[in-house]
């Protein structure tokens, strides 16, 4: 069994549930967005009435919309929490100043790469909003990150197929997520080495 709550839903509701969970995680709630994407991709590989193309598109859309909700919340509520009077006010405001400098220099990379880091995936959009990263820049790199994340994680789980289902049964969602991320990382390293070999002088 992959996840009882997904298996018990018709395909249309699986898409809705996947969108809701990924969007909720991206907006700042500690829910299993990535593992839901993995589970939905495995169901698609087992011909459960799901299309992997739609699974990836739904997860990407949920990630983008959820991150933008988190950005707005961070820009309004997050900044207020960091600047308000009270305990550790000086430390909080120093953290904000340092964060603004960081997002000014590295915000694009941070927003893009946060999709693959479990902790940052939940709070990254809040931090970008609280530190007043420019919204257009955030939107661009957030969209690119959301699409790349949904594609790499979704395709890796889909291609693993029955192997992924077995890993889930024996080791649970965390074990499955580790294997999928390892496959994605190995593929990335392989592509990077191939590019270096092609770029090396003959």
**Residue 143 corresponds to which tokens in the numbers above?**
């969209």
Give the residue, 184 or 9, on which the prediction is more confident.
Answer: 9
Q: What is the pLDDT of residue 119?
A: 73
Nearest-Å Rg of the Cα atoms of the chain is 19
pLDDT at residue 7 greater than cutoff 60: yes
Give the residue, 122 or 84, on which the prediction is more confident.
Answer: 122
CB 182 within 8 A of CB 157: no
Average pLDDT, the chain: 79
Number of domains in the chain: 1
Which residue bears the tokens 């294997």?
179
What is the average pLDDT across 140-159? Answer: 91
Domain of residue 135: give its range. 4-199
Give the residue, 120 or 52, on which the prediction is more confident.
Answer: 52
User: Tell me: the pLDDT tens digits for 170-197?
Assistant: 555 556 566 666 766 776 676 777 777 7
User: Tell me: the pLDDT tens digits for 91-149?
Assistant: 555 655 555 666 666 667 888 888 887 777 877 787 888 877 889 999 999 999 999 99
pLDDT at residue 86 greater than cutoff 80: no
């Amino acid at each position: 069994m992959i996840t009882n709550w997904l298996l018990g839903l018709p395909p249309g509701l699986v898409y809705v549930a996947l969108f809701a969970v990924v969007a909720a995680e991206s907006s700042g709630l500690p829910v299993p967005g990535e593992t839901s994407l993995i589970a939905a991709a495995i169901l698609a590989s087992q011909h459960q009435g799901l299309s992997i193309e739609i699974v990836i598109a739904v997860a990407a859309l949920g990630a983008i919309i959820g991150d933008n909700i988190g950005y707005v919340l961070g820009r309004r509520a997050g900044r207020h929490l960091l600047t308000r009077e009270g305990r550790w006010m000086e430390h909080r405001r120093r953290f904000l100043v340092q964060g603004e400098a960081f997002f000014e220099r590295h915000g694009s990379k941070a927003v893009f790469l946060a999709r693959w880091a479990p902790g940052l995936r939940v709070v990254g959009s809040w931090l970008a909003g609280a530190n007043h990263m420019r919204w257009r820049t955030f939107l661009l790199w957030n969209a690119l990150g959301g699409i790349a994340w949904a594609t790499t994680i979704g395709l890796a789980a889909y291609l693993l197929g029955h192997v992924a289902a077995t890993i889930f049964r024996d080791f649970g969602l965390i074990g499955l997520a580790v294997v999928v991320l390892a496959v994605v990382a190995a593929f990335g390293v392989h592509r990077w080495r191939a590019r270096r070999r092609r770029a090396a002088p003959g």
